[in-house]
Amino acid sequence: MDSPSSRPRLWRWIIGTLFIVTTWQVLGLGLTFLLASYFDLNVELLFSTADEDISAIRALPAWSSAATVLISFLPLLLATLLAYRIFLKKDLKSLFTSRHKYSYKRTWIGFASLALISIAFGSLDLILNWDSYTFSFKASAFLPYLLIALTLLPIQTTAEELFFRGWIQRWLDNGKKKQWSISILSGAIFSLPHLANPEVAGNELLFPIISYGATGFMLAWVTYRDQSLELAIGAHFANNLLAALLVSSQDSALPSVSLLTVPEVAWGPAALFSVIMVPIFIWLTNRWGAKAY
């Protein structure tokens, strides 16, 4: 949290936010069109929520479709770093952590904590709702997709953390708001762009808002608590990687080669899981994270 005397003026945050969002949308879209052209993909299918268009995308190589979607987050990553340095005139290390050195160990703790909780709850759901799952693993498609997942997924998840938790949350944290209010606001803002995902289309918005909002609240809470993005960066990557490789829905925003698939996201149980996960993740990362310094 910045002290009142060192906090950048409001106009710097506003101009910086406009710069980040504009750069992300313009250059991100440009990179998506460029890669879609290279792979001979119909880019309109990538932005469609129609069942037939999603099916058409699913018929294409998952790694090329995923790369075309994920490459758009590179400008978000770079624009947030540039805005923080140029408009706020802050050292880039302070965007990631308030401590003297970034802890990769704590990033792995965030990854492991989220993965452990998700696999435990996912295994329980698999046992209870076995008929809802379809074995969909294809070995020939896995290796090229894995390469994309391990290179571009970290860019996507880190970019979102830098923007939502690093930039937006720091803007909200003006020294007058409490941790609860900042985490709730941050979680609500985080949920908004995700409501445009194909898996949300046609559903009531209440449960998706709760699901994405609870996840955003959780990541915002640990970021505020530790004054660091280390845990949130690791947890966000774990969440997206597990969705890509273990279980995904057929209407997911990101094409995958997951081991198992379900027809669609069950938003009621998903929202319940997200809410239950919040206190467990906060407690677990506090317990394990305290040993990482």
Q: What is the pLDDT of residues 9-28, one digit of tens each?
A: 999 999 999 999 999 999 99
- DSSP H helices, 50-130, are 51-58, 62-70, 74-86, 93-96, 104-128
Q: What is the pLDDT of residues 253-281, one digit of tens each?
A: 666 788 888 888 888 999 999 999 999 99
The C-alpha atoms of residue 268 and residue 238 are separated, in whole angstroms, by 22
Cα-based distances in Å from 13 to 8, 35, 163: 7, 32, 12
175 Rama sector, left if φ>0, alpha if ψ -120 to 50, beta otherwise: left
For residue 129, is pLDDT > 60?
Answer: yes
CA 87 remoteness from chain centre: 25
Average pLDDT, the chain: 89
Q: Helix/strand/coil (H, E, C) string of 97-112?
A: ECCCCCCHHHHHHHHH
Percentage of the chain with pLDDT > 90? 64
pLDDT grade, residue 159 (50/70/90)?
A: very high
Separation of first and last alpha carbons in the chain: 20
Q: Is residue 5 part of a domain?
A: no
What lies within 8 Å, CB to CB, of 89 at 6+ separation is 8
Cα-based distances in Å from 241 to 2, 245, 256, 282: 33, 6, 10, 20
Q: Is residue 242 part of a domain?
A: yes
Q: Is residue 44 part of a domain?
A: yes
Q: Is residue 189 part of a domain?
A: yes
What lies within 8 Å, CB to CB, of 222 at 6+ separation is 110, 231, 232, 235, 281, 282, 285, 286
Q: Is residue 165 part of a domain?
A: yes
| Mean pLDDT calculated for residue range 57-84 | 90
The C-alpha atoms of residue 281 and residue 288 are separated, in whole angstroms, by 10
Burial class (CB in 10 A: 0-12, 13-18, 19+), 59: exposed
| Mean pLDDT calculated for residue range 287-291 | 78
Q: Is residue 77 part of a domain?
A: yes
Q: Is residue 270 part of a domain?
A: yes
Cβ atoms of 222 and 290 closer than 8 Å: no
Q: Is residue 1 part of a domain?
A: no
Secondary structure (3-state) at 94? helix
Report the domain count for the chain.
1
What lies within 8 Å, CB to CB, of 168 at 6+ separation is 17, 186, 189
pLDDT grade, residue 4 (50/70/90)?
A: low
- For 283, the domain range is 10-289
The C-alpha atoms of residue 279 and residue 277 are separated, in whole angstroms, by 6
| Mean pLDDT calculated for residue range 221-230 | 96
